A and B are shown apart, each in its own frame.
Chain A
């Protein structure tokens, strides 16, 4: 038990002088309401969930197996329990196998949305499936679709009298991250702060940290590197105290990026190395790839261009294998830039001929194609330079945040 100081005792004794706790205490002594009906419900739900789990488990071994099974069309899976099991499965998959997670979350949403009211008595079950689908869409960079899914999640929660602010805040946390990625920074901070408050009230310290981390990320993007590093170090400390390795790794990763900008390379390397070990421990491959990419950026900042090229190429290949198309494209461009700076231009043309990006908006796709065509022209003309590649990379990176911006050649 924690030791109490004089102030704690004083607060405790003051509270004992308040009439309300004494009145409430008398009421708390009454026997609790009967649990028979709840026990029956719990038993039935357990049975349904176990059955759904048993039927779905063999289909959740790989994306191919899952897609072949066509669970959305199978009447055996038309139940709220199947939606819950698929949502949980997507949560477990999204960091390791985002494409698979998206297929599973999409099936959960489609099944849930097609269920009549009597088969989906708690609409929040569908709301949570939508939140998870929004999360996967965010992770793979499909921000507009992620926002739409989160909007639908809120609409679904509105249908449920017992949906809580906690569930809505889970959607809000992802929305805040979408805002960060699309550079709507003020909105990101405001949404993340509101979500953090809800997580604090609802006793969810892990998501509380995740929401606070958004603020750290925003400070980084606002180039407030020192303040960001201080905030993130504080959050890392809090995560370490709680043995919350996921958010410890996230705080370290973002703090490392701040230290690169501050020119404190040793500090950055230390944070990335610890984050890398944590991702390995947690088995979170996508995050590991991002940290590895950051180490490449650090190598570049330290002037070790060959090491930087090796690491960024590794990240590029991993993103491509994972189907994270836009990050793969950005890594490819950064790799080309580093190779040009390292006086290794021979490898660049092949690299730049095959840059692929993916945006669901036709306008974005059109703008991106114009930028890539400009790049290819420069390659074919033998006039490719690091600054040209950088110009295209910056444009593509900011395109989701500024969809109306037109590409202007250098």
Chain B
């Protein structure tokens, strides 16, 4: 159980701790380790372990920054979840990190094509030129890669749906 949980979620928690809560790189792994260690002791029974862990990392980050309140100010996202705005913020983050996890699982060609098209806003013709293929093939590739990304994304977020 631990191996599965860890394989599926550890990287996600590290990225969340670092990017959402600003935990310094050198402390991230220890923090995530401690979250899992505490989890082993308590064994919470919840339906959606991924959501639980994302909530747990928020609480752990809050504690982390409270201990270091002289080093950096506490931000909104470090505060309690018991208001609609903060809860919505966590849920938005959860969507973004799920998409990131889906992109990380895509093959390199798909990821490259989607990235050029959506993030870099390249035209299909330019992408075709770069990949040494036709614009029609790029259109087909975009369609299948988008579907594949969606499949992975839905699998990751299935427990929440």
Contact = CB atoms under 8 A, between A and B. Distances in A.
A2 B154 contact: yes
B129 interface: no
A163 B59 contact: yes
Contact of B119 (A17, A164, A200): A17
Contact of A203 (B51, B103, B104): B51
A28 B41 contact: no
A289 interface: no
B6 A35 contact: yes
A125 B43 CA distance: 10
B153 A12 contact: yes
B103 A22 contact: yes
Nearest to A128: B42
- Indicate the member of A19, A42, A80 with the most B CB atoms within 10 Å: A42
Interface in A18-55: 18-30, 32-33, 35, 37-39, 41-42, 45
Contact of B52 (A22, A122, A202): A202
What's the dominant secondary structure at chain A's contact region?
A: helix
Contacts of B59: 162-165
Dominant SS among interface residues on chain B: helix
Contacts of A406: none
Given A1-B151, A165-B82, A204 B33 contact: no
Given A12-B150, A25-B103, A197-B87, A202 B55 contact: yes
A194 B49 CA distance: 20
Given A197-B81, A202-B52, A205-B47, A16 B6 contact: no
Contacts of A18: 96
B135 interface: no
A201 B33 contact: no
Contact of B56 (A13, A23, A164, A169): A164
A313 to B, nearest CB: 38
Most buried by B among A20, A24, A45, A206: A24
A289 to B, nearest CB: 26
Nearest to B121: A17
Nearest to A208: B47
Contact of A164 (B11, B49, B55, B103): B55
B80 to A, nearest CB: 7
A195 B83 CA distance: 10
A326 interface: no
Interface string B147-160: 00111011000011
B74 interface: no
A32 B7 contact: yes
The 6 A-B pairs of least Cβ separation, nearest first, read A203-B48, A203-B51, A24-B100, A162-B38, A25-B103, A194-B82
Interface of B: 2-3, 6-7, 10-12, 14-15, 18-19, 29, 32-38, 40-44, 46-52, 54-56, 58-60, 63, 80-84, 87, 90-91, 95-97, 99-101, 103-104, 111, 114-115, 118-119, 121, 146, 149-151, 153-154, 159-161
10 contacts: A2-B161, A15-B96, A16-B149, A17-B119, A20-B100, A21-B99, A28-B15, A29-B104, A38-B37, A38-B40
